[in-house]
């Protein structure tokens, strides 16, 4: 009761009501004794009804405050369906919408964190391919009997691999932009032959060392609208998997075919394939 009366609005209204009731009772007794008694009883009942309903209303508001506190502490599963029609019911509905929205945002943030973590791990894994090729090139460059022309070719290949590493690091930054919703993908004509050449460049030396043939079949003019670098990165990932699962002397074949709806690119190899346990990853 004391906590209820600590509300400033309740104290002011109680004093105002008490003053009105005193004036009404005095006026009633001035008119007649029966009128005074009736006015006293009526004022008492009115005051009791007011305090009972007002106290219940404040309890409901306090309950809503507790539920909001539960939401702010990351818990859910509470029931706000205890209110009937009225202003508190509307407030309950709005709080329920807020909790649903907050939960959706929380789940979305968790998924984005998982995606970002997986993407960083994937890029770290992809960095191993150009670094491995660079190590091989460095070992070749250390040979004193290496022909100058071949040395220049290896240096050029190393520059290309370093550019790829730079691209992968840039990609990591782009993923951060995607996570923040600020990334912009290019929408421009992409030549499929140029795309496949760019995607295959980092793997030419490892393919040659493993004696794996890379065969491309197409009309040489097919194109589509998209982002060259991002698509090249995706195809490069597939080529890397094909190379890792091909035996020495194997074959990787790329077929591309344009049609009125889309451009189809099929990449296949004659290797053992990815183990079923590794497919989800």
Q: Using one digit for the tens of pLDDT, what is the confidence trace for 6-50?
A: 667 777 777 887 888 888 888 888 888 888 788 888 888 887 887
Q: What is the mean pLDDT of the chain?
A: 79
Q: Which of 73-77, 96-100, 171-175, 259-263 has the lowest mean pLDDT?
A: 73-77
Q: In this predicted structure, what is the pLDDT of residue 255?
A: 94
The residues pairing with 225 across neighbouring beta strands, listed in sequence order, are 189
Q: In this predicted structure, what is the pLDDT of residue 266?
A: 94
Q: In this predicted structure, what is the pLDDT of residue 123?
A: 72
Number of structural domains (the chain) is 2
**Of 52, 78, 104, the domain-final residue:** 78
The residues pairing with 188 across neighbouring beta strands, listed in sequence order, are 226
**Of 55, 78, 101, the domain-final residue:** 78
Burial 198-222 (b: 16+ CB within 10 A, else e): bbbbbbebbbeebebebebebeeeb
Is the confidence at residue 90, as pLDDT, over 70?
Answer: no
**Of 51, 78, 105, the domain-final residue:** 78
Domain annotation covers residue 175: no
CA distance 54 to 107: 39
The residues pairing with 216 across neighbouring beta strands, listed in sequence order, are 254
Name the band, by pLDDT with cuts 50, 70 and 90, for residue 54.
Answer: confident
Domain annotation covers residue 39: yes
Q: In this predicted structure, what is the pLDDT of residue 183?
A: 64
Domain annotation covers residue 130: no
Is the confidence at residue 138, as pLDDT, over 80?
Answer: yes
CA distance 61 to 123: 52
Domain annotation covers residue 281: yes
Across 129-142, average pLDDT: 81
Q: Using one digit for the tens of pLDDT, what is the confidence trace for 181-198?
A: 666 778 899 999 999 999
Across 147-162, average pLDDT: 81
Cβ–Cβ < 8 Å for 83, 60: yes
Name the band, by pLDDT with cuts 50, 70 and 90, for residue 179.
Answer: low
Q: In this predicted structure, what is the pLDDT of residue 83?
A: 54
Is the confidence at residue 97, as pLDDT, over 80?
Answer: no
The separation between CA 270 and the C-alpha centre of its own chain, rounded to angstroms, equals 37
Domain annotation covers residue 245: yes
Domain range spanning residue 275?
Answer: 186-281
Q: In this predicted structure, what is the pLDDT of residue 268?
A: 92
Q: What percent of the chain has pLDDT over 90?
A: 13
Q: Using one digit for the tens of pLDDT, what is the confidence trace for 218-231?
A: 988 899 999 898 88
Domain annotation covers residue 94: no
CA distances in angstroms from 29 to 7, 90, 184, listed in the order given: 33, 45, 83
Q: What is the DSSP string of the chain?
A: -HHHHT-HHHHHHHHHHHHHHHHHHHHHHHH-HHHHHHHHHHHHHHHHHHHHHHHHHHHHHHHHHHHHHHHHTT------TT--SSHHHHHHHHHHHHHHHHHHHHHHHHHHHHHHHHHHHHHHHHHHHHHHHHHHHHHHHT-TT--HHHHHHHHHHHHHHHHHHHHHHHHHHHHHHHHHT------EEEEHHHHHHHHHGGGHHHHHHTT-EEEEES-S--EEEE-HHHHHHHHHHHHHHHHHTPPTT-EEEEEEEE-SS-EEEEEEESS----TTTTT-
Domain annotation covers residue 125: no
CA distance 273 to 245: 6
Domain annotation covers residue 123: no
Q: Can you give the pTM of this predicted structure?
A: 0.44
The domain spanning residue 205 has which CATH number? 3.30.565.10
């Amino acid at each position: 009761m004391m906590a209820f009366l600590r509300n400033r609005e309740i104290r002011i209204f109680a004093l105002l009501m008490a003053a009105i009731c005193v004036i009404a009772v005095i006026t009633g007794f001035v008119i007649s004794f029966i009128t005074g008694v009736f006015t006293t009883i009526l004022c008492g009942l009115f005051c009791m009804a007011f305090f009972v309903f007002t106290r219940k209303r404040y309890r409901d508001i306090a309950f809503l405050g507790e539920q909001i506190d539960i939401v702010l502490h990351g818990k859910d599963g509470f029931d706000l369906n205890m209110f009937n029609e009225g202003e508190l019911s509307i407030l309950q509905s709005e709080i329920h919408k807020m909790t649903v929205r907050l939960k959706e945002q929380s789940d979305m943030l968790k998924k984005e964190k998982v995606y970002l973590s997986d993407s960083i791990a994937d890029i770290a894994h992809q960095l191993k391919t150009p670094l491995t090729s660079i190590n091989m090139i460095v070992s070749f460059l250390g040979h004193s009997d290496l022909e100058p022309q071949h040395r220049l070719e290896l240096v050029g290949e190393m520059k290309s691999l370093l550019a790829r590493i730079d691209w992968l690091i840039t990609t990591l930054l782009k993923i951060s932009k995607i996570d923040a919703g600020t990334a912009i993908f290019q929408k421009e004509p992409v030549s499929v032959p140029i795309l496949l050449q760019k995607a295959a460049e980092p793997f030419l030396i490892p393919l040659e060392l493993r004696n794996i043939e890379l065969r491309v079949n197409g009309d040489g003019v097919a194109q589509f609208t998209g982002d060259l670098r991002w698509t090249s990165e995706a195809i490069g990932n597939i080529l890397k998997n094909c190379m890792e699962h091909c035996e020495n002397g194997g074959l990787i074949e790329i077929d591309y075919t344009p049609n009125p709806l889309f451009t189809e690119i099929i990449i296949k190899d004659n290797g053992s394939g990815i183990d079923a346990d590794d497919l989800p990853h």
